[in-house]
Amino acid sequence: MDVFTQQLAEYIEPLEAFALHGTLMDCFEYHRRREMRKAAAAFSDRELSWLLHMMNEFRGAADRKEDFDLLFDPVMYMEDHSAWTDLPGLIIDLPSLNTQVFDRVGANSVFRAIAENEVLRLAVLADTYPDKAIVGLTNMAIAAYVDQDALITDRISAIRYLAINTSARLEDYWVADDALWMKTGIRRVNLPDVVAEQKSDILQCRATVLNDAVTQEDLVCFSEREIKDFAFNPDRFLRSGKTRHMVLCRLCQGRIAQWIDFVRHTEERFMLEGKGRLPEA
């Protein structure tokens, strides 16, 4: 790591909590986790750990999950998704949920056989849990998956939804062969403008960064010219009067990091080409 990158990292780290989302995936993760927290508010901590225990019994010892964010995790199926590098936005295309795959597969398919078996297993494990808890847990799952079409109010469909979408066995099936998921297609989800919300929250709560209240100007992204200028001339960045935006904006942090990388590679190439060879005798 070069000195400027290191200085930048040290400067930004303590203030990470303020940072604006820098990618579409950041926006999606923030939104889905927040929605799930709202749905989880129906339960006490004790009830939540009791429900997580049931779901871990269902998944089995080798596939336990530490929390609900990981249990109800559509991102698990998105390793190669462009959202990891796309700019923040309001629409994201997600892989199909298992329940959507289920609706399309034939009556004699292996997928359906596994799914039906999982529903029966979860129904037994959930036996001592009241309807209200099972439906409430399903609403947490729906919120976490941002499944905008799902509406579940009864115990039987709640158990089906939970079993099919959180099954470790169907996960193994997907790992071995994801053709059914690919065939089912993507689901398009609308997101609120979480970056705009963050900006307005920062201004409203009069957050202070580096001992000064954040202003509207601190929330404006750098131009391409400024980013390049700062990457090539760290001193100009420090004297720019715009350092607070860098602390707040993951997007600009990423943009400048790319240019710093470019500068470093150019320097290395220059060194190799210029000094790497001994002059010929």
Residue numbers at the binding site for Zn ion (CB under 5 A): 221, 249, 251-252
What are the φ/ψ torsions at residue 186 (nearest 5 degrees)?
-95, 165
Q: How far is CA 195 from CA 30, 37, 150, 226, in A?
A: 10, 19, 26, 21
Cβ atoms of 137 and 162 closer than 8 Å: yes
CA distance 151 to 11: 46
Q: Of the two residues 119 and 251, which places its CB atom closer to Zn ion in the complex?
A: 251
Q: Which two tokens stand for residue 46?
A: 């004790």
Cβ atoms of 140 and 73 closer than 8 Å: no
Q: Of the two residues 118 and 226, which places its CB atom closer to Zn ion in the complex?
A: 226
CA distance 59 to 68: 13
- Opening angle at CA 211, ends 207 and 216, nearest 5: 45
CB of 222 to Zn ion, least distance (A): 6
Q: Of the two residues 23 and 167, which places its CB atom closer to Zn ion in the complex?
A: 23
CB of 85 to Zn ion, least distance (A): 16
Burial 212-229 (b: 16+ CB within 10 A, else e): eebeeebbeebeeebbbe
Cβ atoms of 53 and 126 closer than 8 Å: no
Q: Quick one: which of 53, 16, 28 has its CA closest to 247? A: 16
Q: Of the two residues 194 and 249, which places its CB atom closer to Zn ion in the complex?
A: 249
CB of 212 to Zn ion, least distance (A): 18
CA distance 171 to 77: 9
CB of 251 to Zn ion, least distance (A): 5
Q: Of the two residues 39 and 249, which places its CB atom closer to Zn ion in the complex?
A: 249
Q: Of the two residues 97 and 247, which places its CB atom closer to Zn ion in the complex?
A: 247
CB of 28 to Zn ion, least distance (A): 19
CB of 225 to Zn ion, least distance (A): 14
Q: Of the two residues 196 and 221, which places its CB atom closer to Zn ion in the complex?
A: 221
CB of 148 to Zn ion, least distance (A): 29
